[in-house]
Structures are given as structure tokens and as C-alpha cells.
């Protein structure tokens, strides 16, 4: 075949494909409007295609041409119907005749034959063209083209033979296949059109079914957006379908249900279909409960492509179930909260229900009780007893009460129970069983018995009471005991019904009545009045209490005549003791003053003698006299101290002091004594000891002075040692110090240890004793240690020595405080102009000794013998310091000090330092003098060195 023939063949194939497209448009698209006009238009279109096909043939010889018109016309007759086929046949035949040539009529015959065969075959198949198979289409094409080859014989024989020899094989092989291919394409169109039509019809039926269904139907895509919802579902939610379409299903849930929804969707994505209950939120915010039947939708790749679900409204059922559950829960809660046993049996004695208390009785839970009868838990005799009571309750038609002793299986408890059994009926009045309630009345019975016994005991105690007891209502006595009768002298019958205020003295009635009205219940004392008119002190105590169904008042009367007399006697004794104590204190004060005053003169003269030239013998005499004077002074101080301690008047004055100064003062005072006796004397302080402590330094010194003094006194050889060690304390702001005073002396026997701490008792009691002393030292030490909150222990070995341990508590200064600021400043030695001192003293010897002593210290001294004279001298002269005695004629030292401090005429002189130099050394004396305006204090007898320190300290404080 020539190249142009191939082009024509290609064009013919393309045009045949156009037939397929025309078929889809004309047949499938216009199926609903398949009118005569549509068929005419389709026929013309097919004819036009045929004309075009015939205009692009391939020529076998002049006048003989070939194309695919047989395929086109045959398929047209088969699929497009008679009218369209006839039009196409006419148009193509006209063209062929117009083309002329040897094979013109043969061509017309092929066109007509192809159209007729197609139309006949169509009529044979009827409306089942969509069921035509490839084999049938091939057979159809084979028939058409066999007829076509047969029609070639209408040509001249030689032409026919030549034509057949050229086209027979291609026509038989290719054209039927082409016909079958084109026919298959059109059959496929028909099948798709039929399937689509069936699908649409099915969808319409299903849509009608879905839209009219009572159940809700909901479809969503893979992103959970709503693609379809029926009217029933929308109505359930209170929306229109358009308001739901496109929205995610999550928009219609309660927030608290989202976790459960996510779990459901995870299962849906996994392809799991489910039936479950689901809660929605309606448009008005109320709950919609549904039963959901959900199914997953998959795409071509078997991936989740959405889901489809049907919903049944079960809100009423859920609401009813909740109401029923709540009702059952409330009923169950009420039943279980009842402390009594509660159970329900049916008419056959089978247990239907019971509460927790009943479970304890059976010793098992309700599930093991329900469905069983009494015979499953009790012996036959007891079970028959219970069943008989059930029967009697049913026969009675109402509650039946009886008492039973029951034993709990849970814990073995046995008690008396009051059982009430009542028949139970349903809403229609039908008997359903017996309700039982058992109440433990053991405690009530016991209480009733106890009350009876208590009343008997009360009556016995009521009458046996040592006091009087009355029960009254608004003052009227309802009940009383024999004690009240005996106390007031009335017969018991006289008291019952009497106004209780008649038992009260007239002067006390207002108070008693106010207490009755106020319901006062504390004890108080007033006066009573006996039948004979005698008044006596009594103690009253009342309580409000229930009595025979109403609140009354019970009153106890106590005759306190004896206790009042005893209290008066005790008060008199106390006043006498206080008077004796005051007399003792006054005596001690006077004794102290009167003894210290002459001692001051004696010690002063002796100290002045020490400043003169003396022989060795004279020095020895003077030193002995001074020692005796100091010993007498210490004895006097010890007597005053023991008196203060016993009277509880010793005051603890806390202040900061230096441990180094304490150590130095002990060493300084006792080293001379130790040297005289050739004893080693040391004072060791722990390296951990704080530099400053807060406590009563004076009392600490007094304790150590006594202990070290005793140790030196009773040690003839060896050593005396003092150790101060830090002990741990609970409070971070405090510390405890252990002082240990050790000696190698004679020790203390066990017999002596019994009395060594008693005042005025010594270890030696014979006329040949070797050691001096009044026996007050250790007594004072022990009492001081106790007052300071410390402890004291003696470790003693007779003949080898003694160690006394004293533990005392101290406070610590605040960390930021400068220790140097807590130490007293040392005064400089007087230099330049002599210090001008005004000495005010009425006793001549003390005045002389004091003046000479001050002058020998380098001071300029002016004297006065009373306060008024001192005041006059201050107006006339200038002084740096005043040493003021207290007890003086005309004007005493306290008055003089107040006059100086309050004088505006003196100007700056009114602020002059004033030191009390007095024989008053009792507790509170020093404080009283300082409060009067004095700046310092020194007690008589005055020691020269102490006087110097006090004077210089006062001057050092002067601005």
C-alpha cells in the first residue's frame, strides 16, 4: 500500500473514534431527551463522519476505493438505531454515487448491507446491547465484512478477482477486529451509563430512605468534617442540616468527652467498626444520648477515608436509667446508713436485698446472701422460727415486733435485738415479701438497768453526802438530802416546797438570786441562815441539769465555819510571821549599821597606821587587827546574805563581765594567802571559754571566794587549783561553765558531809578545833548556786583532799557587740590639781579616818557633818566629788542628794558625782540610794583600796 493509503487509514481510525465520542454524547448524554430531532441530528453527524471517512480512502485501482465505512455504518446500525442509520446510509451512499467509478454501486451495496446487518442485529439483541461480549462483536464484524467481500463479486469478474486477491485477507483479519474494538468501546459506554444510572437510582432510593428515616445518619470525611447529615440527626441536635454540613463532629461534644472521642476515632482509623453509646451537646446546651453504629470508609489504597454512622436517640432511656440509678443509689445509701439491720425477703423466704449491717450479721457480703433463704445460714429450728415470724407478719397485715438474742458472725458480738417485720406490697397491691428491721437494744436495756441502779446509788449518796444537796426549780426546793436537813435544822418535809432563799442570810440573797438567774456554775461563798436564825459561812456550787423532763438547778451547800476559822487563824499566824520577819530584818539592818559604823572607824585607823613608820612588831599587830576586822566584816556580810537568801530577797543582777578579770581578781586576792602557807595556787581557764559572759558577777565571785578560801584554809601543804571549763548548752545564745576547786587538804568525812551545808555548822566542832569560821561559807555557796540555776557536787577523799564542782549557766553577749565596750574603764591616776572631795559624815572617828585616808591618796578634802551643811558648802565652793553618809542628823544623805539634784541655784554643780558611803548594806539599800540620784556606793567598813577604785570610777564617768 502507498504512503497516502496509510494516511487515509489513520484518518479513518480517528474518525471511527469520533463515532465513539458522538455515541457517548448522543446516546448517553441525551438519553433523557432521545427525541426524533435528536436522532436526526445524530444521523446527520454520523453521515458527516461517514462522508469524511469516504473522502480519505485508499484507492486500489481507478474507480475502486476502500475505507472504513463498513465498520462505521455497521456500528451505527447496531448502536444508534434505524433512523440515524438510514440518514447516515443515505448520506454516504449519495457521496459514493457522486464519486462514480466502476465500484460505485458495489460501494452503495456495502453501505446498505452494513447498515441493514447492524440494524437487524440490534433488533435481535433488543435492549441488551450492554451485554454484548468481545466474541459477539467480533462475530458481528466478521458477518458484516464477509457480506462486504461477497458484494465484491458484483464487480466485473476480473476486477472482482483482483480486488478480492488484494483485500480479502486484510478485510477478514483487520476489519472484524476494528469493528469489535469500536463496538467494545461503545458497549463499555453503555455499561458505564447503565451502572451510573443504576447508581443514581440507588442513591435516590437510599437518599429517600435516609431522609425519611427516624434514626440519625451522619457521614464525615477523613478530617472528621461532616459531609452528610439527615434531617432526623439535625433535629435531634436542634440544628438544620445546613448548619452541620462542613463542621467537625467534635463541635457537638462536651469538652469532658473529648478524650473518649479521640479513643473512638483512633479505633475508627484502624478500621474497627463499633456499636456504642455517645453523648452530644444540643444547640441549647442540653444532653443528647444516642446509640451509635459506626463504620469506617476506605479509599482505593485501603486508607481511612471517613466514616458513616447511624444514631438512635436513647436520651429518654439514659435519663430514666440515671434517675433509676440515682434513686437506687439514694435508697441504697439510706438503707446502708441505717444503723439497724434491714433486709427484704420474697413470699418464699428468699432474700432479695439487705444492708451493710445485715452483712455483718451474716459475716458475708450481699451477693452471697441474695437468692438464699434462712435454711442456708441457720439450723432448721432457728430458720423455722424466723419463717414463722415472717408468716405471722403476713397474716397480721402489718408490723410485728419481737425481741431476739442474735450473735454476729462477723465478730461474735451477741446482743438483744428488737425486730420489726412488715409485709411489703407492690404498686398494684400484690404481696411481694417481708421487710425486716432489727435494732440493737442491748445498750438501751443496759442503760435502763444502769439508770435504775444509778438512781438507787444517787438516792444512797444523796442522803449520805457530807454536805447539803437541794434540787430546786426557780427557787422552790423539789428534792433534798438529809445533809441539808441537818445543816439548816429543818425537817426534810419542811424543806420540800420551801423557797430556797430562806436558807440564805438576808445580806447574801441578792448575790445568790443573781447567780441563779445567770446560771452561774462556779463555787462561791456567802452566808446561810439556820432555822434558829443563826448565820454561818457556806460554800455554794450549782449546776443546771435535766430532772423529770425539765431543766432544774442542783445546789450543794457546804458549812465552811471551821475552814473560815482556820483561815483566820492562818492569816493571824501569817501576819505574826511577817511581823517577826520585819522585826528580824529591822534588827539585822540596825545591827549591821551599828556594827559597821565602829568597825569603819577601827579599820580606818588601822589602815592609817599602816601609812606611818612602824616597827616589825607594830606591823604584825596592825596586820592582825586588820585581819580580825575584815573577818568580822565578812561574818557580818555572811549573816546578812544568809538572811537575804532565807527571806527570798536576794536579787540576781545580770551584767556582762570579763572572764579574764574574774580570773585575775581571784588570783590577786588569794595569792598572798597561798604564799604565806607555801601552797601552789593556780587558776586555769579553758581555751574555749568566751571572753565575756552575762551573769551576776558579784555572786559568782562570792561563790569562788568562799570555795577558794575554804580550800586554802583547810590545806597545809600541796596545792589549790581552780579550773573553769565550757560545757555544751541547748540554747545557742547561752553557755554553761563548770568551775572545779581542788585542794590537797584534809578532806571531809562522810559524817561531816551530812551537815556541812547547814548554816553555822563546821567540820570541826570540838574545843580544840584548828580552823576559824562561823560555818556560813558552804551554806551560802549552795544556796547561791541554786538561785543562779546551777548545780554543785563534792568529790571528797578524807585525808587526801576535796574537789568541789559548780556548774553555772550564763548568757552570751550579742555577736556584734564590742567586748571592750562591756568592760569598765580604768581611771587614770590623779595628776596635776588635787581632786576636791566633800566628805559628809556625822560620826567623828569615821570622819577623821576618812578624811586622813583621802588626803593620803592625794585628794583635797573638805568635811561636813550633815546634809544641810554639805548643801551650804556646795553653794560656796567648788568640788569634784561628794562622799555622802546616809544616816545623819538635821538632813540625811538621801534628802541631801535629792536637794542637790533638784537645786537650780547650784547650776552645773547639781550634777556632781555623789557616792554613798554608808553602813546600810541590806538588800535593796544600794538600789534605793542609786535611785535617789547617787552615782556610786561603798559599804562600811571602808577599805582604802576599794575606796580609791570607787572614787576614781565615779570621776571617770564625769563628762
pLDDT band at 210 (very low <50, low <70, confident <90, very high): low
Model pLDDT, residue 385:
86
Is pLDDT of 298 > 70? Answer: yes
**Average of pLDDT values for 941-951?**
85
List domains and CATH numbers for the chain: 3-197 (1.10.1760.20), 213-319 (3.30.450.20), 338-440 (3.30.450.20), 446-559 (3.30.450.20), 651-822 (3.30.565.10), 836-956 (3.40.50.2300)
Interaxial angle between packed helices 893-901 and 867-876, expressed in degrees from 0 to 180 and rounded to the nearest 10: 30
Is pLDDT of 670 > 80? Answer: yes
Is pLDDT of 511 > 70? Answer: yes
Residue 707: phi and psi, rounded to 5, are: -65, -45
Model pLDDT, residue 59:
62
Bridge partners (DSSP) of residue 64 are: 61
Is pLDDT of 766 > 60? Answer: no
Alpha helices in 611-689 (DSSP H): 616-647, 659-676
**Average of pLDDT values for 691-702?**
89
Model pLDDT, residue 1:
43
Is pLDDT of 592 > 70? Answer: no
pLDDT band at 639 (very low <50, low <70, confident <90, very high): low
Model pLDDT, residue 133:
87
Rounded Cα distance between 192 and 130, Å, is 9
Is pLDDT of 70 > 50? Answer: yes
Residue 617: partners with Cβ closer than 8 Å, 6 or more residues away: none
Segment holding 363, helix H or strand E: none
pLDDT band at 537 (very low <50, low <70, confident <90, very high): very high
Strands lying side by side in the sheet with 287-298: 226-229, 216-220, 304-313, 287-298, 274-281
Model pLDDT, residue 22:
56
Rounded Cα distance between 64 and 56, Å, is 13
Model pLDDT, residue 864:
95
Higher per-residue confidence, 844 vs 2: 844
Q: Assess contact for 608 and 853: CB atoms under 8 A.
A: yes
Listed residue (861, 737, 862, 754) closest to 806, CA to CA: 737
Model pLDDT, residue 244:
92
**Average of pLDDT values for 296-310?**
85
Rounded Cα distance between 367 and 353, Å, is 9
Rounded Cα distance between 39 and 80, Å, is 8
**Average of pLDDT values for 436-444?**
84
The pLDDT mean for the chain works out to 81
Segment holding 578, helix H or strand E: helix 561-610
Bridge partners (DSSP) of residue 65 are: 59
**Average of pLDDT values for 748-776?**
51
Is pLDDT of 878 > 70? Answer: yes
Is pLDDT of 530 > 90? Answer: yes
Tell me if residue 653 falls in helix, strand or coil. Answer: coil
Higher per-residue confidence, 761 vs 549: 549
Model pLDDT, residue 324:
84
Rounded Cα distance between 840 and 881, Å, is 11
Q: Which of 3-12, 373-382, 608-617 has the lowest mean pLDDT?
A: 3-12
**Average of pLDDT values for 484-499?**
91
Model pLDDT, residue 769:
43
Is pLDDT of 159 > 50? Answer: yes
Question: Which residue in this structure is represented by grid cell 445533809?
Answer: 483
813-863 pLDDT per residue, tens: 876 554 444 444 443 444 446 899 999 999 888 888 889 989 988 999 999
Rounded Cα distance between 776 and 757, Å, is 8
**Average of pLDDT values for 452-470?**
65
Is pLDDT of 8 > 60? Answer: no
Q: Which of 635-639, 863-867, 948-952 has the lowest mean pLDDT?
A: 635-639
Beta strands 550-559 and 226-229 are unpaired
Query: What percent of the chain lies above the pLDDT cut of 90?
Result: 21
Rounded Cα distance between 418 and 437, Å, is 8
Query: What percent of the chain lies above the pLDDT cut of 70?
Result: 82
Q: Assess contact for 438 and 417: CB atoms under 8 A.
A: yes
Rounded Cα distance between 509 and 528, Å, is 9
Rounded Cα distance between 554 and 568, Å, is 30
The most confident of 324-338, 721-735, 852-866, by mean pLDDT: 852-866
Is pLDDT of 5 > 80? Answer: no
Model pLDDT, residue 830:
43
Interaxial angle between packed helices 134-151 and 69-79, expressed in degrees from 0 to 180 and rounded to the nearest 10: 130
Amino acid at each position: 500500500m502507498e504512503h497516502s493509503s496509510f494516511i487515509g487509514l489513520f484518518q479513518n481510525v480517528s474518525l471511527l473514534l469520533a463515532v465513539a465520542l458522538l455515541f457517548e454524547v448522543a446516546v448517553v448524554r441525551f438519553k433523557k431527551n432521545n427525541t426524533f430531532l435528536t436522532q436526526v441530528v445524530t444521523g446527520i453527524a454520523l453521515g458527516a463522519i461517514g462522508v469524511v471517512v469516504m473522502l480519505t480512502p485508499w484507492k486500489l485501482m481507478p474507480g475502486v476505493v476502500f475505507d472504513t465505512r463498513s465498520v462505521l455504518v455497521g456500528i451505527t446500525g447496531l448502536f444508534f438505531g434505524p433512523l440515524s442509520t438510514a440518514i447516515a446510509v443515505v448520506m454516504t451512499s449519495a457521496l459514493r454515487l457522486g464519486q462514480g467509478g466502476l465500484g460505485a454501486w458495489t460501494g452503495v451495496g456495502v453501505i446498505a448491507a452494513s447498515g441493514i446487518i447492524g440494524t437487524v442485529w440490534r433488533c435481535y439483541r433488543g435492549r441488551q446491547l450492554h451485554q454484548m461480549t468481545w466474541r459477539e462483536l467480533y462475530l458481528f464484524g466478521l458477518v458484516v465484512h464477509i457480506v462486504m467481500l461477497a458484494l465484491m463479486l458484483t464487480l466485473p469478474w476480473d476486477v472482482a478477482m483482483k480486488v478480492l486477491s488484494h483485500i480479502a485477507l486484510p478485510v477478514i483479519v483487520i476489519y472484524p477486529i476494528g469493528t469489535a474494538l469500536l463496538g467494545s468501546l461503545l458497549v463499555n459506554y453503555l455499561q458505564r451509563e447503565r451502572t451510573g444510572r443504576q447508581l443514581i437510582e440507588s442513591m435516590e432510593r437510599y437518599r429517600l430512605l435516609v431522609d425519611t428515616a427516624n434514626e440519625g445518619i451522619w457521614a464525615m470525611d477523613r478530617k472528621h468534617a461532616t459531609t452528610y447529615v439527615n434531617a432526623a440527626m439535625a433535629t435531634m441536635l436542634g440544628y438544620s442540616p445546613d448548619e452541620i454540613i462542613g463542621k467537625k463532629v467534635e463541635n457537638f461534644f462536651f469538652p469532658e468527652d473529648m478524650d473518649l472521642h479521640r479513643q473512638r476515632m483512633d479505633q475508627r482509623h484502624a478500621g474497627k467498626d463499633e456499636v456504642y453509646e455517645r453523648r452530644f451537646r444540643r444547640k441549647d446546651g442540653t444532653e443528647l444520648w444516642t446509640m451509635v453504629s459506626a463504620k469506617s470508609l476506605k479509599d482505593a489504597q485501603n486508607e481511612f477515608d471517613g466514616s458513616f454512622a447511624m444514631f438512635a436517640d436513647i436520651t429518654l432511656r439514659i435519663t430514666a436509667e440515671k434517675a433509676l440509678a440515682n434513686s437506687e443509689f439514694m435508697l441504697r445509701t439510706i438503707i446502708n446508713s441505717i444503723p439497724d439491720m434491714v433486709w427484704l425477703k420474697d413470699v418464699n423466704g428468699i432474700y432479695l436485698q439487705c444492708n451493710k449491717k445485715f452483712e455483718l450479721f451474716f459475716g458475708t457480703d450481699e451477693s452471697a446472701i441474695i437468692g438464699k433463704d434462712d435454711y442456708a445460714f441457720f439450723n432448721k429450728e432457728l430458720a423455722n422460727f424466723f419463717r414463722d415470724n415472717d408468716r405471722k407478719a403476713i397474716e397480721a397485715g402489718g408490723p410485728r415486733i419481737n425481741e431476739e438474742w442474735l450473735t454476729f458472725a462477723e465478730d461474735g458480738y451477741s446482743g438483744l435485738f428488737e425486730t420489726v417485720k412488715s409485709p411489703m406490697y407492690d404498686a398494684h397491691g400484690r404481696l411481694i415479701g417481708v421487710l425486716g428491721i432489727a435494732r440493737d437494744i442491748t445498750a438501751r436495756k443496759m442503760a435502763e438497768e444502769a439508770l435504775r441502779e444509778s438512781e438507787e446509788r444517787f438516792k444512797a449518796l444523796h442522803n449520805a453526802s457530807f454536805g447539803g444537796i437541794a434540787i430546786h426549780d426557780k427557787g422552790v426546793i423539789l428534792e433534798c438530802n438529809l445533809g441539808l436537813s441537818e445543816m439548816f435544822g429543818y425537817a426534810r418535809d419542811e424543806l420540800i416546797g420551801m423557797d430556797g432563799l430562806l436558807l440564805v442570810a438576808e445580806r447574801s440573797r441578792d448575790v445568790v438570786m443573781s447567780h441563779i438567774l445567770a446560771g452561774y456554775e462556779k463555787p462561791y461563798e456567802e452566808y446561810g441562815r439556820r432555822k434558829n436564825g443563826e448565820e454561818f459561812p457556806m460554800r455554794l456550787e450549782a449546776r443546771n441539769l435535766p430532772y423529770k423532763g425539765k431543766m432544774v438547778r442542783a445546789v450543794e451547800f457546804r458549812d465552811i465555819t471551821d475552814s473560815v476559822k482556820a483561815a483566820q487563824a492562818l492569816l493571824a499566824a501569817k501576819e505574826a510571821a511577817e511581823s517577826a520577819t520585819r522585826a528580824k530584818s529591822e534588827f539585822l539592818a540596825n545591827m549591821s549599821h551599828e556594827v559597821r559604823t565602829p568597825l569603819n572607824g577601827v579599820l580606818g585607823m588601822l589602815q592609817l597606821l599602816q601609812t606611818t613608820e612602824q616597827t616589825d612588831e607594830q606591823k604584825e599587830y596592825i596586820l592582825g587587827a586588820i585581819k580580825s576586822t575584815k573577818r568580822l566584816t565578812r561574818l557580818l556580810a555572811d549573816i546578812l546574805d544568809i538572811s537575804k537568801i532565807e527571806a527570798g530577797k536576794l536579787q540576781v543582777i545580770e551584767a556582762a563581765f570579763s572572764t579574764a578579770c574574774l580570773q585575775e581578781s581571784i588570783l590577786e586576792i588569794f595569792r598572798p594567802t597561798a604564799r604565806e602557807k607555801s601552797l601552789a595556787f593556780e587558776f586555769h581557764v579553758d581555751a574555749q571559754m568566751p571572753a565575756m559572759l552575762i551573769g551576776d558577777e558579784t555572786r559568782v565571785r562570792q561563790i569562788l571566794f568562799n570555795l577558794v578560801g575554804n580550800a586554802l584554809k583547810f590545806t597545809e601543804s600541796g596545792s589549790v587549783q581552780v579550773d573553769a571549763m565550757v560545757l555544751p548548752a541547748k540554747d545557742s545564745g547561752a553557755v554553761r561553765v563548770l568551775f572545779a576547786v581542788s585542794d590537797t587538804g584534809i578532806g571531809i568525812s562522810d559524817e561531816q558531809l551530812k551537815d556541812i551545808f547547814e548554816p553555822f555548822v563546821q567540820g570541826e566542832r570540838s574545843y580544840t578545833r584548828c580552823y576559824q569560821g562561823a560555818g556560813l561559807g558552804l551554806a551560802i555557796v549552795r544556796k547561791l548556786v541554786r538561785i543562779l540555776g546551777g548545780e554543785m557536787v563534792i568529790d571528797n577523799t578524807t585525808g587526801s583532799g576535796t574537789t568541789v564542782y559548780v556548774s553555772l549557766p550564763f548568757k552570751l553577749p550579742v555577736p556584734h557587740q564590742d567586748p571592750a565596750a562591756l568592760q569598765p574603764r580604768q581611771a587614770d591616776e590623779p595628776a596635776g590639781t588635787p581632786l576636791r572631795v566633800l566628805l559628809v559624815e556625822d560620826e567623828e572617828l569615821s570622819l577623821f579616818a576618812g578624811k586622813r585616808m583621802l588626803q593620803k591618796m592625794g585628794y583635797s578634802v573638805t568635811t561636813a557633818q550633815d546634809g544641810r551643811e554639805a548643801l551650804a558648802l556646795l553653794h560656796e565652793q567648788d568640788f569634784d566629788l561628794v562622799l555622802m553618809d546616809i544616816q545623819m542628823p538635821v538632813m540625811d544623805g538621801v534628802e541631801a542628794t535629792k536637794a542637790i539634784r533638784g537645786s537650780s541655784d547650784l547650776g552645773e554643780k547639781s550634777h556632781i558625782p555623789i557616792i554613798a558611803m554608808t553602813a546600810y548594806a541590806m538588800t535593796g539599800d544600794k538600789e534605793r540610794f542609786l535611785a535617789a540620784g547617787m552615782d556610786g556606793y561603798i559599804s562600811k567598813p571602808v577599805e582604802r583600796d576599794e575606796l580609791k577604785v570607787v572614787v576614781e570610777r565615779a570621776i571617770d564617768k564625769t563628762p
